[in-house]
Amino acid sequence: MFSIASTNFSVTLFAAAALATLLLARVIYQLFFSPLSAIPGPWYAAISDLWILSHVIRLQQCKTVHELLETYGPVVRIGPNRVVFKDLSTTKSVYSVHKFDKSVYYKSLLTNENDHAMTTLEHAPHSIRRKGYAPHYTPNNLAQFQPEIHDFARDLVQTLNSISGEKSVDCLTLFRQFMVDVIVTSSYGCRLGALKKWALGVEDALCTAISDFPKRGILRSVVPTWMWNLVCKIPNYRWRQMCDSDKIMAEFVSARVYELRAQMNAGKLHESEKVPMLQRLLKYRYSSTGELMPDTDIISEAMGHMIAGSDTTSTTLSYFFWELSRRPDMMMKLRAELEEVMHDSMSVPDITVLQSLPYLNAFIKEGLRIYGAAPSLLERVVPSHTSKAGDVEPFDLMGFALPAGTVVSTQSWSLSRDPSVFPSPETFLPERWLVEDTSLMSAHLLPFGFGTRVCGGQNLAQIMLRVVVASIVKNFDIEAPTETNARSMEMRDSFVIFPAAMSCLLTFVPRNN
């Protein structure tokens, strides 16, 4: 018996020693012999992804990476196989010239357990998908939906007028309802009425699911599948609602797909200049096969656009108005400019008029610089490249040779806070955009991404930011209650940003009061 116990102990000891040796060997390799070992960065980041993962879980990856870039320079190693850079020419090379494929991180954002444009990793299939929806987001096509957009803007003003400044409202929720109404109308050709439901004290289930989906995505990206399946069985209604957010959205979109297809098959759809995005997708054929886009892809694509377009814009708008609540000087300048073109408080000018207003556009640009909703790492994978001689060549990233498979990325957060381009980068200063030459600043302003994978809906977002700012500034004074402050509004990030308090309470006081 003693002999058996002694033997088991010896085996256990040997296994532990072997494991320790392997771990030590891995550490030594990553620190001194890895192809990335020459790249500066904290030593503990080089040996394991756990360090940067801890900051992802704490919702502070953007700030952490920014601090590393300030400490170590424009190229930093943040993991055994991950490198971050801050350089405009390299950004163009990675995202536009060479068009590197995305990393597997984006798979955590699958909709209906299927790919959409954002989660399609390879460049070629993404390009095919993009052609299906790109015509919808051209300025000329979006102009067709201005009457509906203006209707929703009036609904927004009337809703806030009915509250009459008697209580604060959560802007994240308010503007999410508004944006979902806009996107549902332009995408599916029907009206949801989410904002009107909210005014009656009822939040639409679809809006809740859209709000929950990013949280669901970040959880799925950091836990194994078996654990995710387990935690989704926790018997808590609100928790299960978040886990089911993907399913809730899929059911809504699926119903719209089947309804519209039935109308098309019955010949009940008439040709019109105003074509909802879903109608385009139902008619779209993949150039690679010549076949119609399958329903599974249409559903996941439409879901992706609904998520990307609503929560991001609502978050950015919330931060815009919080900034205005603290800056009466900006409020007065915006209002003076808007009153030159808005003679009726309930009528929003054509978007071409809003786009011509210097201070409004400077305010929007500065707001996107600091409060762009998606300032996080845009991960790409270095491809395998073979020279004419048949040798596998590494990718030269600012003097460092990166082997194929290395994950490289930059982040808008750091590019838009470069003090050599934006003096006093943390100061909200619209006037910096009112100079004659803004080309260098504009090149460092990437709130919608860069290159061929740039956000497809950025034109719609730009329209909505101007329409909502104009409508609110013209009609309301904005106040922040004591619970809405620098601490509650401190930015957290899970690819997209949101306030630390998970809300943005503001009071909108009608000017006629």
Per-residue pLDDT of the chain (513 residues; tens, 9 = 90+): 556 656 666 667 767 777 777 777 777 877 777 899 999 999 999 999 999 988 888 889 999 999 999 999 999 999 999 999 999 999 999 999 999 999 998 888 888 889 999 999 999 999 999 999 999 999 999 999 999 999 999 999 999 999 988 999 999 999 999 999 999 999 998 899 999 999 998 888 888 888 888 777 777 767 777 887 887 888 887 888 888 888 999 999 999 999 998 888 888 777 777 899 999 999 999 988 889 999 999 999 999 999 888 889 999 999 999 999 999 999 999 999 999 999 887 789 999 999 999 999 999 999 999 999 999 999 999 998 765 555 668 899 999 999 999 999 999 999 999 999 999 999 999 999 999 999 999 999 999 998 889 999 999 999 999 999 999 999 999 999 999 999 999 999 888 899 999 999 999 999 874
Q: What values do phi and psi take at 6, rounded to 5?
A: -65, -40
Amino acid at 50: L
Q: Which strand ranges, in their side-by-side order, compose the sheet holding 82-85?
A: 75-79, 82-85, 407-409, 380-381, 101-102
216, 242 contact by CB (below 8 A) = yes
155: region left, alpha or beta (phi > 0 left; psi from -120 to 50 alpha): alpha
**pLDDT score for 229:** 81
User: Annotated binding residue at 455?
Assistant: yes
**In angstroms, rounded to a whole number, what is the distance separating the alpha carbons of residues 378 and 109?**
14
- Read off the pTM: 0.91
**In angstroms, rounded to a whole number, what is the distance separating the alpha carbons of residues 376 and 368?**
13
DSSP states of 242-300 as a string?
HHTHHHHHHHHHHHHHHHHHHHHHTT-PPP-S---HHHHHHH-B-TTT-PBPPHHHHHH
Q: Which domains does the chain have, with CATH numbers?
A: 39-510 (1.10.630.10)
Q: Which of 183, 15, 102 is nearest to 451 (CA)?
A: 102
Residue 109 DSSP one-character state: G
**In angstroms, rounded to a whole number, what is the distance separating the alpha carbons of residues 244 and 257?**
20
